Amino acid sequence: MNPVIEVKNLSKWYGNVLGLNDVTLQIEPGITGLLGPNGAGKSTFLKLITGQIIPKIGTVSIKGKKVRNNYPLFREIGYCPEQDSFYEELTGKEFLLRLLSLFPYSPPEAEAKAEQALEIVELTKEKDRVIKAYSRGMRQRIKFAQAIAHDPEILVLDEPLSGLDPLGRRKIIRLIKEYQKKGKTIIVSSHILPEIEAMTKTIILIHQGKVFAQGDIHYIRDLIDTHPHIVSVKCDQPRLLAEKFIHEDFVLNVKFSPAEDSLLVETDNRDKFFSLLPSLFIENKIEVQEITSPDDNLQAVFDYLVGK
Amino acid sequence: MTIKEKGYSHWEGELAEKKLPWWPITRFGIRSTFRKKFFKFFFFGALLPAVVFLVGIYISERLEDFRFMIRNQTNFLTVDPGYFKSYFTGDFLLFMMVAILVFCGSGLISDDLKHNSLQLYFSRPLKKGQYFLGKASVIFFFLFLVTLVPGLVFFIMKLIFAGNFKFFASYPWLPLSIIGYSVLVTLFFALYTLFLSSLSKNRRYVSILIFAVYIFSDIIFGIFYGIFRSPYFALISLKVNLQQIGAFIFNQKLPYSIPWIYSFLIIFSISLLAAVYLKNKVKEVTIIK
Amino acid sequence: MISIDKKSAAAFLDSIGKSFSFFFFLGKKVNRTKVFILISFLPVIMAAIIKCIQYFNKNYWLEDLSVFSNIIIFFYLQFLILILALFFGSSISSEEIEGKTLTYLTTRPIPKSALILGKYSAYALLIILMVNIGVILSFAVLNIDHLLDFPRYKILLRDMGVLTLGLICYTSFFAFIGTFLKKSILFGLIFSFGWENIIQYFPGSTQRFTIVHYLKSLLPQPVRGRFSFLLFRLEPSSTGTAIMMLLLITAVFLGLACLVFSQKEYILED
C-alpha cells in the first residue's frame, strides 16, 4: 500500500526544548495510533504533519505533496486540535457552518454538511446554544465535528477522547472505526494505551521526541510481557501464597507490603503467572481482595524501552 | 431519587492560615510584570521625573554653584509644597502611571477569568478580600515606587541637603500629604484597573480600556472646556480630578475654580462603584452546609 | 496563461470573500463590538450636549459646522479612529493566536493571505460603519436646524472620506503590527498617542512620517482664531500626495501583514 503521509528526518525544537528528534516514518490508510506520555512530542508531530509549525530539519509530505502553505491540500485533511479553544460567541451550528464556508461549498451544501456533522456527534439538539455554554464533552464533540464535517480523506486527531465520558468515548471510537472502513487515513494520539488498543492495532510509540517503536500493537504488548512485571495481590493469606509462588521459575522476586496484607510478585512471564493464580486461590482457599499491576502502564513500558 | 448523603464532610477544625495568604499572588504579579519585554524601559521612563525633581532639590540647595546655569530663573527651583504638587500631579507622571497599569494590571483578573482559575484560588484558604488585596498589591507596588517612594525621598533629601530641619518645621504636614495623596491615587488606580480587568477575559481589550477611558475623559473635558469655558467640565476628566485633589492635599491653589470636594466625590464614587462591581463579579467557592 | 492567471485571481478573490463573510459575521456577534459601537457613538452624545447648552444659553453660540468640523471630526481623527483601528487591526491575527483558534483557519483550503485580507476587510468595514454612522448622527444633531441646507453635506462627505481613509490606513498598519509583535497593543498605544501625537507637530519633512499628517492635509485649514491650534504647525502635503501616500501606506502594510502571516510560525502557547 502507498503511504499517505511520509516524514523524513523530522526534527523540531523550541529554543532549548526538543520537540521531535529525527523521525522518519510512513503512514498508510487505516487507523494509526500515536502513543506516548504527556510531553512526548505527539502534538508536535501532528502539528508538523498538518503544517501548523515548521520543522527545523526534515520534510513532511502528504500524498507526495508538501504540506505547509499548500492550502488546497486541506480539502482532504481534517484536524482536531488538542487545545480547548473556540469562537466562544458562536453557536455550535454557526461554528461548523462558518468554518465550512471557507471550503468551496455552496451555502445549502455547507448547511447540509454542518447538520450532518452535528447529527454524527449527537449535538443536533444543542446546535443553537453558544459554545461557551457547552460542557467539556460537548466542546470536545463539536471540535471533532469540525474535523469531519467536510468528509476528509485524512483525519488527524489530537487527543480526541480527552474530557469525554465513557459513553462519549465509545461513540467517538465507533465513529473513528467507521471512517477506517471507508478507506480513510486516521491518526489518533493518546497517552492511554487501552484507548488506542480499542481503535487500532497499528501504533507509533513516541517518547522524548523519538519514535521508539512502530507497528503492530502486539509487538508492544510482547515488550510489556517480556520485561519483569510486578503484580500486587491483596488477600487474607499472603504468606501462604508467597510460599506457593516462590518455587516457580517465572517468579523472580516476592515481597510483602509494609502492612503485610499484600504480596508483591515480580515475574517475567505474565501469562504463566496469571494462568496459575486462580488455581492457587482455589486450591488453598485464599480469599482475594484485590489484584493490581502497579507498573502495568505506558510509562513502565517506556521506562523498559529506554532501559531505566 | 434523592441524594441522602453528601460525598464529603465538612472539616470543623481550626484553619491555620498563613499570615499573608495574598502575598504569593502579589509576588507572582510583580515577577511576571518584570518579565515582560519593554516593561523595565517603561518603568525607568516613569522614574525620570523623579530623577529630574531630585536634581532640582539638589540645585535648590546649591544655587550659588549653579548660578551660571539658571541665571535669574530661580522660581521653579523653590522647593515647597508646590514643588511636590508639581511632581505628583504632573501630566507626564500620571500618563506613565496609566502606562504602568496597562503593563501590570490589564491581566490581573481578566487572565483568571480567561483560564477559569478563580476556583483554584478559592479552593485554597484564601478569602475574596485577600484575593483582591493580592491583586491590588501588584499595582500598589509599582505605583508606590513612582509616587510614595520618590515623594518621601525628596523630603528626606531636602532635609539632608539643607543640613537642618527648617523645611520640616515650615511644613510639618508635608509627609502626611505625600502619604495621603500617594495612597489615594494608588488606591483609585488599583480599583479602576481591577474593575476594567474584570470586565473581559481579553487582556488586549482591557489594555485599550485602561488607556482609552483615562485619555477619553480628558479629551472630552478639553473639548467642552474649550467651547464653554465652564470649570465644572473638569469633573469629567479623571486626570484633572486627581490634580484638583492633589492641589488641595498639598495646600496649593486649585487648577480649576471648583471645590476640590466635588473632584474627591467623583473619584470616591468611581472607586466605590468599582469595588461593588468587583465584589459581585468575582464569586468565591460556595460551601453548602 | 492569462486565463489561468485570471482563474487563480478569481479564486483568490473568492477566498477573500469567504474570509470576509466569516469574520464580518463573527465581528458583529462578539460583545466587544457592541462596546466599541457605544464608544464610537459618544461624540453623538457630546454633540447633543453641546447643542442643548447652546439652545438654552445663547452666550455659547458657535457655528454648527465649525463645531462639527473642528471638534467632532478632530475627536474622531485624533482619538477614536486610532483606538478602533488599533483594537480591530491588531486583533486580525493576535486574537487568533491568543485565543488559539488559528488552527481552525490554517487547516482550511484557503490561502493565509486571503484570510488576512478578508478579515482586514471585514473589520475595516465594521469600524468604518461604526464611525460613519456616528459622524452622520453627530452632524444631524448639530445641524438639526439646517438639514435642508445641502451644501453642508459636502463637508460631511469630505470628513467621512478622510476618516474612512484614516481607518483603512491605520487598520492596515496595526494589522501588520499584530502579525509581527506579541505586545501589539502596547506598541500601538505608544505609536498612536506618542509618535503620532508628537511627530505631527515637528517642522519640515519630519511630520510626513506620521499618518495623521496626510489625514490633516486633506482637511481645510481653519482661519486663525479659536480652533487654529487643531492644525498647529501643519505644513500640509497636497491633496493628491496625501491620498496617494495613505493608499500606499495601506497597501504596503497590508502586503507586509500577508507576508509575515504566511511565513511566520506561530506557536500557540498553553
- What is the rounded distance in angstroms from the CA atom of residue A273 to the CA atom of residue A271? 5
Is the distance from CB of A72 to CB of A153 less than 8 angstroms?
Answer: no
The DSSP secondary-structure symbol of C110 reads S
Asked if C26 and A72 come within 8 Å (Cβ–Cβ), the reply is no
Q: Is C71 on the interface with B (CB under 8 A)?
A: yes
Residue B11 in this model has a pLDDT that exceeds 80: no
Asked if C101 and A85 come within 8 Å (Cβ–Cβ), the reply is yes
Q: At what angle do helices B203-228 and C31-40 cross, to 10 degrees?
A: 10
First CA to last CA across chain B, in angstroms? 20
With b for 16 or more beta-carbon neighbours within 10 A and e for fewer, the B109-148 pattern comes to bbbbbeeeebeebbeeebebebbbbbbbbbbbbbbbebbb
For residue B282 the three cell numbers come to: 468575582
Q: At what angle do helices B91-105 and B203-228 cross, to 10 degrees?
A: 160
- What is the rounded distance in angstroms from the CA atom of residue C81 to the CA atom of residue C43? 12
Asked if B204 and C185 come within 8 Å (Cβ–Cβ), the reply is yes
- The distance of A215 to chain C (nearest Cα, Å) reads 28
Quote the pLDDT of residue B10: 66
| Under-70 pLDDT residues of chain C | 1-4, 59-62, 221-232, 270
Among candidates C21, C29, C99 on the partner chain, residue whose Cβ is nearest the Cβ of A90: C29
The answer to the question of residue C33 being in a domain is yes
Q: Neighbouring chains of B at 3+ CB pairs within 8 Å? A: C
Q: What residues in A contact C261, CB-CB < 8 Å?
A: none
The answer to the question of residue C18 being in a domain is no
Q: What is the mean pLDDT of residues B6-32?
A: 79
Condensed to tens digits (0 to 9), the pLDDT of residues C57-67 reads 776 666 777 77
Nearest CA in chain B to C227: B226
CA of A152: how far to CAs of A95, A106, A123, B93, C15, in Å? 18, 17, 20, 58, 19
- The distance of C60 to chain B (nearest Cα, Å) reads 6
Q: Which of B225, B266, B241, B244 is nearest to C49 (CA)?
A: B225
Residue B244 in this model has a pLDDT that exceeds 70: yes
Residue A83 CB-half CA count within 13 A: 19
**Phi-psi sector, A106: left (phi>0), alpha (psi -120 to 50), beta:** beta
C interface test, pick of A79, A102, A103 with most C CB neighbours within 10 Å:
A102
Is the distance from CB of B147 to CB of B186 less than 8 angstroms?
Answer: yes
Sheet bearing A262-267, strands edge to edge: A251-256, A262-267, A229-235, A288-292
Q: What is the mean pLDDT of residues B146-151?
A: 96
- The distance of C178 to chain B (nearest Cα, Å) reads 11
Is the distance from CB of B148 to CB of B182 less than 8 angstroms?
Answer: yes
CA of B72: how far to CAs of A70, A221, B14, B52, B82, in Å? 73, 93, 70, 19, 19
Asked if B219 and C75 come within 8 Å (Cβ–Cβ), the reply is yes
The residue segments making up the domain with residue C108 are: 27-263
Asked if A81 and C99 come within 8 Å (Cβ–Cβ), the reply is no
Q: What residues in C contact B205, CB-CB < 8 Å?
A: 32, 87
Residue B164 CB-half CA count within 13 A: 5
Residues 6+ apart with CB under 8 A from A79: A46, A50, A147, A156, A158, C103, C107
Q: Neighbouring chains of A at 3+ CB pairs within 8 Å? A: C
Asked if A102 and C105 come within 8 Å (Cβ–Cβ), the reply is yes
For residue B164 the three cell numbers come to: 537642618
Nearest CA in chain A to C268: A83
Mean of per-residue pLDDT scores for chain B? 88
Q: Which residues pair with A17 in a beta bridge?
A: A14
Q: Check residues B191 and A301 and name the one with the higher pLDDT.
A: B191
Is the distance from CB of C171 to CB of C211 less than 8 angstroms?
Answer: no
Residue B251 CB neighbour total at 10 angstroms: 14
Residue B2 in this model has a pLDDT that exceeds 60: no
Asked if C109 and A83 come within 8 Å (Cβ–Cβ), the reply is no
AA letter at C89: G
Residue A149 CB-density burial (10 A; 0-12 exposed, 13-18 middle, 19+ buried): buried
Residue C152 CB-density burial (10 A; 0-12 exposed, 13-18 middle, 19+ buried): middle
Asked if C185 and B208 come within 8 Å (Cβ–Cβ), the reply is yes
SS (H, E, C) chain A: CCCCEEEEEEEEEECCEEEEEEEEEEECCEEEEEECCCCCCHHHHHHHHCCCCCCCEEEEEECCEECCCCHHHHHCEEEECCCCCCCCCCEHHHHHHHHHCCCCCCHHHHHHHHHHHHHHCCCCCCCCCEHHHCCHHHHHHHHHHHHHCCCCCEEEEECCCCCCCHHHHHHHHHHHHHHHHCCCEEEEEECCHHHHHCCCCEEEEEECCEEEEEEEHHHHHHHHHHCCEEEEEEECCHHHHHHHHCCCCCEEEEEECCCCCEEEEEECCHHHHHHHHHHHHHHHCCCEEEEECCCCCHHHHHHHHCCC
- The distance of A24 to chain C (nearest Cα, Å) reads 22
Query: What is the torsional sign of CA B34, B36, B40, B45?
Result: negative
The answer to the question of residue C215 being in a domain is yes
Indicate the pLDDT class of residue A307, thresholds 50, 70 and 90: low
B interface test, pick of C78, C183, C191, C192 with most B CB neighbours within 10 Å:
C183
Asked if C104 and A99 come within 8 Å (Cβ–Cβ), the reply is yes
* Pairs of CB atoms within 8 A across A/C: 73
CA of A232: how far to CAs of A237, A238, A242, A291, in Å? 13, 10, 11, 6
- What is the rounded distance in angstroms from the CA atom of residue B98 to the CA atom of residue B105? 10
Q: Which of A69, B118, B8, A263 is nearest to C111 (CA)?
A: A69
Query: What is the torsional sign of CA A87, A90, A95, A101?
Result: negative
Length of chain C: 270
- What is the rounded distance in angstroms from the CA atom of residue B163 to the CA atom of residue B94? 32
Q: What residues in A contact C14, CB-CB < 8 Å?
A: 104
The answer to the question of residue C268 being in a domain is no
Quote the pLDDT of residue C1: 52
Asked if A98 and C101 come within 8 Å (Cβ–Cβ), the reply is no
The answer to the question of residue C233 being in a domain is yes
For residue B64 the three cell numbers come to: 550659588
* Centroid of chain to Cα A85: 20
- What is the rounded distance in angstroms from the CA atom of residue A254 to the CA atom of residue A245? 8
Residues 6+ apart with CB under 8 A from C166: C77, C81, C85, C211, C212, C215, C246
Quote the pLDDT of residue B1: 44
- What is the rounded distance in angstroms from the CA atom of residue B68 to the CA atom of residue B125? 63
Q: How many separate domains does chain C show?
A: 1
SS (H, E, C) B171-202: CCCHHHHHHHHHHHHHHHHHHHHHHHHCCCCC
- The distance of B268 to chain C (nearest Cα, Å) reads 24
Q: Quickly list DSSP for C119-183.
A: HHHHHHHHHHHHHHHHHHHHHHHHTGGGTT-THHHHHHHHHHHHHHHHHHHHHHHHHHHHHH-TT
Q: Has this prediction a pTM greater than 0.90?
A: no
Quote the pLDDT of residue B70: 62
Condensed to tens digits (0 to 9), the pLDDT of residues A209-252 reads 998 888 887 776 666 666 677 888 999 889 999 998 888 888 98
Q: Is C189 on the interface with B (CB under 8 A)?
A: yes
Indicate the pLDDT class of residue B53, thresholds 50, 70 and 90: very high
Residue carrying the nine cell digits 515650615: B170
Residue A161 in this model has a pLDDT that exceeds 70: yes
CA of C208: how far to CAs of A65, C2, C205, C213, in Å? 47, 40, 5, 6
Residues 6+ apart with CB under 8 A from A237: A284, A286, A287
Residue A296 in this model has a pLDDT that exceeds 70: no
Residue A105 in this model has a pLDDT that exceeds 80: yes
Quote the pLDDT of residue B67: 67
Q: What residues in A contact C112, CB-CB < 8 Å?
A: 69, 71
* Coil, helix or strand at residue B106: coil
Quote the pLDDT of residue A88: 92
Residue B85 CB neighbour total at 10 angstroms: 22
* Centroid of chain to Cα C241: 19
Query: What is the torsional sign of CA C181, C182, C185, C189?
Result: negative
Residue B94 in this model has a pLDDT that exceeds 80: yes
CA torsion angle C69 C74 C80 C81 (round to 10): 90
Is the distance from CB of A123 to CB of A145 less than 8 angstroms?
Answer: yes
Residues 6+ apart with CB under 8 A from C256: C176, C180
The answer to the question of residue C17 being in a domain is no
Nearest CA in chain C to B92: C194
- The distance of C100 to chain A (nearest Cα, Å) reads 6
A interface test, pick of C33, C95, C96, C104 with most A CB neighbours within 10 Å:
C104
Strand A251-256 to A262-267 pairing: antiparallel
For residue A257 the three cell numbers come to: 507490603
Is the distance from CB of C176 to CB of C184 less than 8 angstroms?
Answer: no
Q: What residues in B contact C193, CB-CB < 8 Å?
A: 211, 215
First CA to last CA across chain A, in angstroms? 37
Residue carrying the nine cell digits 487648577: B255
Nearest CA in chain B to C62: B227
Indicate the pLDDT class of residue B108, thresholds 50, 70 and 90: very high
